[in-house]
Structure 1
């Protein structure tokens, strides 16, 4: 049987009139009745674009030239915005980015749950540059260039973008991309380090180098010296995540930390732990969540998917008792460490499977007055069916995926809760990522 021939793509640029924006931030146009997804184009614009992919129902294009610009088009703050896949909306004005994200949340509520909040909260914003404290950077030696690349992947392909700095990363790392490229080029292991994990706390930043092969004494010394000279913590990861270990500084606890000053708290974390990428938004988010929960001194509060205690410990400053539950045992340990660090004895942390009915667990039998839930992108549909059994007056749901928030909101509403307030939080400026928060109250308003 002969192989199907791959359809050749048009070699000449095509002209597109962009009508609207997709949820992933691409312009949508139509050509000969077929959908055109155009990277780098905004609604109302006329652009010339190159076809880079084709499917039966749509084509994928990349903007080459803007012939008629939209009023909300701006010059990207980063020189590599058109190439690097780390950001997708730098060509869009900040106010318009927020409007786009709120519109996305509204549409998901309408589509998945057929509901809307009684009140929309004003979007939560922060500085749009130098905000990102967690990231994974790819590393690749390119023999043809005799150079090492360090950065994010290019838009919609597997190649690493050739960048020399990153405007959205914490400057302790973002301003040092060129340095890292030069450092890695000098190593004997320049072809066997595929990635660097980045983690930044308030007072220190860490780099975790994934070394596929054992490092020579010379390479080891070079990384240590780089950490010393730049005041950076240096880690190696020879195999799985459990092998991550610090090589500089040589002494002291392997922890970074961040503060929540509104609650007089310091939280410590390992560089491989999950923490929020945007410290400014995180502080505002925690404050808003507690304000919406309206925790009273006699309340018993449940924090689901609690992690290392980002919400749990602030809740413990206000409630009689707080129970934090997490599926990852290592994060439960971290939560307990942070409770001890901050002198809190009215909080307990538990590991549990959060994919089913946990109402019979010993820590759950007394019920709860307030519930906070901050699930992963997959949401918590199954859990939401059980939350009504606790009798909580209020539930605050923090979400990183508007589709699963809308779906789960429908479950909570069907179980006797009202969607009272909701709003977006710009955790990831210049990207299409939509972080949001919603308040549910039991019974009639």
Structure 2
């Protein structure tokens, strides 16, 4: 092929109008050229006709950014954030703000169904109605990068630019709580005034909620500082907290274990599950769900689906600080929470003691204990040692629960394995933050462990992002 011929074909490809067929999990439109080549197009939506600027080209696919739209999707909306977009300097924190929120949920539901079928060969018998909540000001946790930019003469605080190591010049962030979004510029001024402005690379945000479970409570700001702070900087932090309601500064000189509260006293950082009469204190570096509203309705739905009876024993796998375990203890006879982190087991045990007494909505918690175990190295023998349970709740990280599902499948298939009276759970509710690992584990449970997938559905924990949270129910066949 001559250079002129190649250039002509490249120009024809550039001018070609493409019909967008679907949206992938990176929020890219998916289309095909007349040649059959797959094209991934940032900024394009299903059913649109678009042209693009190609930025990457391989033998069987291309990737680029939309440049023109000839037919626009009815689901395209005006983004709610001034920093969202495809322009230079745009924030990379959200990918779907140009798509109607209901359509975002439909895309995620389709992604869940596709993963379950293509990766696990599992079709749920019924699909659950998606769990949805507020589309804005929902993000109660965030890791905000901090940079003192000499060339700009300012401090930047927020998320990185789209596909860049540079920070976006963010003045607001509508997915953060409104009070936190309004603090971004004052925080930039504060850090810019500090002696340590060049050695504070990060502020981690963790918000509690009000005791009734609605509204914002404590706003914990964890300042990562690479050198000791001066007395003047400490005074600046205290002054900032004094004029910003609810703010607590925590200092982190090294790893997460070094985090400490700058000024002890004041209200505790905690979230609440009012339906179950449970309060969950936590440290700002502990894992808790980003979306407090969705977490409350997710816990409620998971317990309704598990349908624990008063005479039943339950195991909560990957239990964290007890987010599901303590509500389960308001329903069952006995609960065991199993978690890989010793620190979280300690926090969960503290939370159990704090919530033991009866409240106006429940009696005393059922006998409950927490143990630490490497859940990525589970074996049939370990499963048997933990004892039989009528029902399981499984809430793993992105890596999923493969070893747990495999141990359950081995016990189902290999009759010679010792059981000591152990029997498999009648029902499993699996909460997932990664549809591909859920699909893999669902394939094991359905095809090798003797279960049916009776229900599945998405949970819109992260509106405007491509993150898919979901829940699935498995019954003994």
TM interval, short-chain normalised:
over 0.9
Alignment partners' CA distance in 1, 2:279 and 2:15 = 55
TM-score normalised per structure 2: 0.86
* 2:198 aligned with 1:191: yes
SS in structure 2 of the partner of residue 126 of structure 1: coil
1:78–1:166 Cα contact (<8 Å) kept = yes
One of 220, 226, 239 as aligned partner of 1:212: 226
Q: After the TM superposition, which of the residue ranges 398-407 and 39-48 deviates more from structure 2?
A: 39-48
Q: Distance in 2 between matches of 1:293 and 1:45?
A: 42
How many residue pairs match? The answer is 432
* CA–CA distance in structure 2, aligned partners of residues 319 and 422 of structure 1: 23
| Shift in CA distance, 179/60, structure 1 to aligned 2, threshold 3 Å | farther
Counterparts in 2 of 1:166-205, with a 5 A limit?
166-202=173-209, 203-205=217-219
Partner of 1:412: 445
2:74 to 67, 71, 76: 71
Contact 1:16–1:29 at 8 Å: present in 2 too? no
1:35 aligns with 2:38: yes
Which one of 57, 61, 64 corresponds to residue 64 of structure 2?
61
Q: Per-residue deviation at 1:358? A: 5.0
Matches within 5 A, 1:154-303: 154-202=161-209, 203-230=217-244, 231-247=246-262, 249-251=263-265, 255-303=268-316
- In structure 2, C-alpha distance between the alignment counterparts of 1:150 and 1:120, rounded to whole Å: 41
Does structure 1 residue 312 correspond to structure 2 residue 346? no
Match for residue 102 of structure 1 among 101, 109, 114: 109
What is the CA distance between 1:58 and its match in structure 2?
A: 3.5
1:20 maps to what in 2?
22
Change (3 A) 1:84 1:313: same
CA distance in 2 between partners of 1:157 and 1:186 (Å): 27
Match of 2:398 among 377, 383, 389: 377
Other structure's SS at 2:370 match: strand
Which deviates the most, 131-140 or 32-41?
A: 32-41
Range with bigger deviation, 49-58 or 326-335: 49-58
Contiguous gaps of at least 5 residues in structure 1: 1-9
What is the correspondence of 1:83-122 to structure 2 with a 5 Å cutoff? 83-122=90-129
Asked if the contact 1:359/1:365 (under 8 Å) is kept, the reply is no
Aligned partners of 1:31, 1:269: CA distance in 2, in Å?
52
Q: Give the secondary-structure state (helix, strand or coil) at the position aligned to 1:204.
A: strand
Instruction: Name whichever of 117-126 and 164-173 sits farther off.
Output: 164-173
For residue 213 of structure 1, give the secondary structure of its aligned residue in structure 2: coil
Look up the match of 1:366: 387
Which SS does the other structure have where 1:192 is aligned? coil
Contact 1:14 1:50 (8 Å CA) reproduced: no
> 1:5 aligns to what?
none
CA distance in 1, matches of 2:285, 2:465: 23
Q: Distance in 2 between matches of 1:321 and 1:246?
A: 35
CA contact (8 A) 1:89 1:431 kept: yes
Structure 2 unaligned regions, length at least 5: 1-9, 210-216, 357-364, 412-422
Q: CA RMSD in A?
A: 2.1
Q: Deviations over 1:344-382 (max 9, x none)?
A: 361100001111235545994431000000011111111
Aligned equivalent of 1:323, options 323, 331, 336: 336
Q: Deviations over 1:15-65 (max 9, x none)?
A: 652332222111123457443322111122234444444445443323345
Task: Give TM-score, length-normalised by structure 1.
Answer: 0.92
Deviation, 1:179, is 1.4
- Structure 1 residue 216, shift from structure 2 partner: 1.7
2:383 matched to 1:356?
A: no
SS of 2:281's equivalent in the other structure is strand
- State whether residues 422 and 439 of structure 1, in contact with CA within 8 Å, keep that contact through their aligned partners in structure 2: yes
